[in-house]
Amino acid sequence: MKILLLIDFGSTYTKITAVDINNEVIIGTASSFTTINTDINEGLHMAIEALEKQTGKLEYCEYLACSSAAGGLKMMASGLVPSVTATAAKEACLGAGAKVIKVYSYEMTEDDIKEIEKIKPEIFLLAGGTNGGDKKCILHNAKILASCKVDFPIIIGGNKEVSYKCKEILRKKETYIVENVMPIFGELNVEPAQKKIREIFLQKIINAKGVTKVGKLISEIIMPTPSALMRGIELLSNGYEDEKGIGELMAIDLGGATTDVYSACDGSPKESNVIFKGIEEPYIKRTVEGDIGMRYSIDGIIDEVGIDSIASIINLSTKQTKEMIAYLKINPQVLPTEKDFINLDFVLAAKAVEIATIRHSGKREKIYTSNGIAYLQKGKDLTHIKKIILTGGALINLSNAYNILEYACFNETIQESMRPKNAEILLDKKYILQAMGLLSKSYPKIAIRIMKKELKYGGN
């Protein structure tokens, strides 16, 4: 057998997947609490020990890894107009697997620099202006960034006419020039920026996070975990050469700190009376809700839904519910076994999914024209998507995960939200999407065939 070990160093758990390449099967999966604050080797070796208790001793020909340990890849960005170049900059960051802390629009201020110095991003994307368009804003922001007392790489991806002027202004900083993220109004060009973000992540940031403590064991840290997941989703949707994909889809990755939502679809208006508003949407799109998570970001769910509402749904007092939530925040590694905690986890997961899918999906607004009623669409139309993948420990460990479907789909009470109307759940029960994204770098056909076999429909 030719066995690859695929590793995901997460903020909470280190997940591993062993794949038999010759037979195109998953031999086993396991996880252990990530030990980033001591020695990341410990969490990895504990996961390997757990795996080999199931499989027996294994010989691995290669170890490949992705990482979101220690909070993932933190980025900040700037652009000109919030709905145009600033949005393009954000899309570039998210598509590269980053966690976007903040995006600045228009001219930045000294107060913004103080905020940046406090947050200490790992990469900053400086964008603004289409090619041949506004120059003043990006030049101003370059001067402001030059005064920043904290060092981090700066990627310049704005109006190409002033890219080298920005680099000269930032000559004391580590800078990289890439193609404009929006060279023409409304047209995204995020691939060059994303490629550079991933390169910097691999060259520099994984060292700072301690992931290289695993030393010679790891053949290669390939990419940030969200990039691996996105690669797996895109492959599953589109297929590869003569291996067909499953078509357009949505995927929801619910974690302890964030909730990531992905959509792989065209998303453009499907009806003649719908007018698209805003910049074009990428076929494969990722949004990150940094305030919504099952452990570290429980407060974000509570703030949206209300503690009294949560307590009412699980039929407990507000006091009891608060105590249980406080316990989960202090003990993020806990997997509930008691009935009340199981019920609480389901409600938190359901509401997190509801909030995140609403934010990810496009919105439709009714307008009146001389030709009758029409609609303005902003964002992606996901109403026609038929498949929703659930992944992430918080979802795959739920005994009733398939009941999450109603919280991810269109609801008559929120008619403006363009969420899927008639979809079915596919459960990533073995938590393999990231692993398959890693595997796809060398074995794309094997990765897609394994995903099609392993993802579980309905209650199967």
What average pLDDT does this structure show over 141-149? Answer: 97
H or E stretch at 33: strand 25-33
pLDDT confidence of residue 460? 47
Residue 40: pLDDT over 80: no
Q: Which residues pair with 239 in a beta bridge?
A: 244
Size of the chain, expressed as the number of residues it contains:
460
Q: What percent of the chain has pLDDT over 70?
A: 92
pLDDT confidence of residue 357? 96
Q: Which of 70-79, 178-187, 299-308 has the lowest mean pLDDT?
A: 70-79
Q: Which of 10-14, 210-214, 283-287, 401-405 has the lowest mean pLDDT?
A: 210-214
State the chain's mean pLDDT as an integer.
Answer: 89
Rounded CA separation 228/72 (Å)? 13
pLDDT confidence of residue 219? 52
Residue 72: pLDDT over 70: no
Q: What percent of the chain has pLDDT over 90?
A: 60
Which residue has better confidence, 383 or 369? 383
pLDDT bracket for residue 143 (50, 70, 90): very high
pLDDT bracket for residue 62 (50, 70, 90): confident
pLDDT confidence of residue 45? 83
Instruction: Kindly give the interhelix angle for 444-454 and 225-238, rounded to the nearest 10 degrees.
Output: 80
What average pLDDT does this structure show over 82-97? Answer: 88
pLDDT confidence of residue 8? 86
Which residue's entry shows tokens 């002027």?
165
What average pLDDT does this structure show over 51-71? Answer: 84
Rounded CA separation 276/376 (Å)? 6
Residue 459: pLDDT over 60: no
What is the separation, in whole angstroms, between the first and last Cα of the chain? 29
Write down the pTM of the prediction: 0.85
What tokens were used for 14?
Answer: 């280190």
Distances in whole angstroms, Cα of residue 275 to Cα of each of 250, 269, 281, 384: 23, 7, 14, 17
What average pLDDT does this structure show over 141-156? Answer: 96
The DSSP result for 262-279, as a single string, is: EEES-----STTEEE-SS
Could you give the count of Cα atoms lying within 13 Å of 423 in the half-sphere of its Cβ?
Answer: 31
The DSSP result for 34-102, as a single string, is: --TTS-HHHHHHHHHHHHHHHH-----SEEEEEE-GGG-EEEEEEESSTTTHHHHHHHHHHHTTEEEEE
